[in-house]
Structure formats: structure tokens, C-alpha cells
């Protein structure tokens, strides 16, 4: 059943990119390995948030072929803008529960996304971690009230 979010104006489609959801517990390396295992073409990854990203190819034709290769059961009559289950893999890491579709212009990182990211909460930038430790050391030595 289609929801209003599934109905996309054809002019809003980004035909050279595949939108991927369900990557919450995956790293860039995990996603790269997954995509290369199922469809070994050149691409770049654009993270949107903790849950989704775009895999960007050199052309719309390659992206369409990627959707065919990544889909667990490709149905030609299903619009490319419809979210569909992707294949699972077990080697080298078990990856399942991913969904894919052709990307849209709205599939982009929102301003301030980094501040809301669970990833950065648990994996701070090294300089932020240093600043945090330095600040707490000043407090523990009585230099900051």
C-alpha cells in the first residue's frame, strides 16, 4: 500500500543515487563492503542521518541496475521510488533489514544533523574528546567553578 511519502514527483527524483534505510548500526566501511559485494561499481556514500544514506553512482542507468542487484526480489512494475527490501548478506558481517529506493532531492542531510546524531554522541571527534577531558581535568583540580 502506498503512503503519501511514497508518492514522488518525477522532477524530485535524483536518478543517479540509491536511497538506503536501515543502516543504524553500520559504519561507512560496512555499507561500502555490502554494496560492493552485491553490485561492484564505483560509487560514493552521502550520509543523511544515523538511519539513512545515499549511494551515488556515475549515471542513472548504473543506479537503476544497482537497485535491481540490491533488491531482494526486484519487481519491474514497482516504481523505483517505492521503498523495497534489499538483499541480506552474512559475510563478512551479517547485514539485513535494509530497504532501498531511488533517491529524491529531499534525501539530504538537514542542518544540525550532526548535533542530533547518536553516532557522534558515542564516537566524538578526537578534538572534542580531548576538549571534554581537558575541561573535566580543570574542574577536578579546582581551576573552574
Look at 6 and 66; give whichever has higher pLDDT: 66
For residue 137, what pLDDT is reported? Answer: 66
H/E segment holding residue 17: strand 13-21
For residue 93, what pLDDT is reported? Answer: 85
Q: Which cell numbers hold the place of 29? A: 566501511
- Name the pairing type of β-strands 99-104 and 52-56: unpaired
Residues 46/54, Cβ–Cβ less than 8 Å: yes
Question: What are the tens digits of pLDDT across the range 93-123?
Answer: 899 999 999 999 999 987 776 566 565 555 5
Q: What is the DSSP letter of 54?
A: E
Q: Quick one: pLDDT band at residue 56, thresholds 50, 70, 90? A: very high
Q: Which cell numbers hold the place of 100? A: 532501498
Q: Where are the alpha helices (DSSP H) in 1-145?
A: 28-38, 60-70, 118-122, 126-140
Q: What is the CA radius of gyration of the chain?
A: 19
Count the Cβ atoms, other than its own, within 10 Å of residue 86. 25
Q: Quick one: pLDDT band at residue 92, thresholds 50, 70, 90? A: confident
Least confident of 9-23, 43-57, 60-74, 124-138: 124-138
The predicted model scores a pTM of: 0.75
Amino acid at each position: 500500500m502506498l503512503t503519501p511519502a511514497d508518492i514522488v514527483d518525477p522532477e524530485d527524483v535524483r536518478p543517479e543515487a540509491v536511497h538506503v534505510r536501515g543502516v543504524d548500526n553500520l559504519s561507512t566501511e560496512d555499507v561500502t563492503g555490502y554494496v560492493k559485494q552485491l553490485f561492484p561499481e564505483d560509487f560514493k556514500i552521502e550520509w543523511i542521518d544515523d538511519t539513512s544514506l545515499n549511494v551515488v553512482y556515475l549515471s542513472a542507468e548504473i543506479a537503476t541496475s544497482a537497485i535491481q542487484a540490491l533488491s531482494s526480489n526486484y519487481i519491474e512494475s514497482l516504481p523505483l521510488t517505492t521503498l523495497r527490501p534489499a538483499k541480506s548478506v552474512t559475510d563478512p558481517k551479517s547485514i539485513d533489514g535494509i530497504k532501498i529506493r531511488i533517491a529524491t532531492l529531499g534525501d539530504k542531510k538537514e542542518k544540525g544533523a550532526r548535533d542530533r546524531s547518536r553516532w557522534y554522541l558515542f564516537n566524538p571527534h578526537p578534538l572534542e574528546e580531548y576538549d571534554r577531558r581537558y575541561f573535566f581535568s580543570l574542574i577536578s583540580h579546582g581551576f573552574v567553578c
